[in-house]
Amino acid sequence: SQQGEEDPQALSIQEGENATMNCSYKTSINNLQWYRQNSGRGLVHLILIRSNEREKHSGRLRVTLDTSKKSSSLLITASRAADTASYFCATGPYNNNDMRFGAGTRLTVKP
Amino acid sequence: GAGVSQSPSNKVTEKGKDVELRCDPISGHTALYWYRQSLGQGLEFLIYFQGNSAPDKSGLPSDRFSAERTGGSVSTLTIQRTQQEDSAVYLCASSIPQVANVLTFGAGSRLTVL
């Protein structure tokens, strides 16, 4: 079963604009991770934020976590056409350390 | 190996046939995951292996699906009597749970059932 839910399902912006995606989850977590997927193949890990952290940066990525609201956001600043991809949040660990993914946000950055 | 390797990358089969999908995780990664992704959809958890613990099979959609992991390394996902709704990309990932559990994914196996 899925644990995270991203919104919006799809987002279309112009190059240079910022893109914000949100993730909500249901149960307590140890950490939350964001992944990127190009062309429906393998996912690539972008950034991890632990449950005791509120904000984290990596290059043009900024992630926030609000454990009281069970939600996270991923901000991509100064977007580029190459950022066009699907973005997924993953939460966990559950049970014996497995991670569960949301349905993803499809981001399109127009040049 | 340097990354997670999956084979075949593409598989076309006829309804009712059995298929086997293979995943070769990163050496030393004790955790291995199988996910299924239908076209344009999110990742559906199938099964999780961690070391010598009993696998978490809670995501397998039916008894036609099974998976094994031999010697704590290579895993095979088997789908018996395939149905058209089994058509999807099957993704494998591995990790070291003790190190924040960041997953490294393979490129996936795209299964098409005619």
Is the pLDDT at B45 greater than 60? The verdict is yes
Instruction: Give the mean pLDDT of chain A.
Output: 89
Measured in angstroms, the CA of B105 and the nearest CA of chain A are apart by 5
The partner residues of B10 in beta bridges, in order of sequence, read B110
Residue pair A108/A83 in contact (Cβ under 8 Å)? The answer is: no
Residue whose token pair is 């990664």:
B29
Cross-chain residue pair B43–A88, CB shorter than 8 Å = yes
Round to whole Å and give the CA distance between A89 and A40.
Answer: 15
Query: Quick one: tokens of B98?
Result: 């003790």
Round to whole Å and give the CA distance between A82 and A63.
Answer: 19
Mean pLDDT by 10 residues, chain A (111 residues): 74 96 89 88 91 95 96 97 95 70 92 91
- pLDDT tens for each residue of B46-74: 999 988 888 989 899 999 999 999 887 99
- pLDDT tens for each residue of B8-26: 999 999 999 999 999 999 9
Mean pLDDT of B88-99: 88
DSSP state string for A23-43: EE-SS--SEEEEEEESTTS-E
**Helix (H/G/I), strand (E/B), else coil: B48:** strand
Contact with chain B for residue A48, Cβ under 8 A: yes
Neighbours of A51 (CB within 10 A): 12
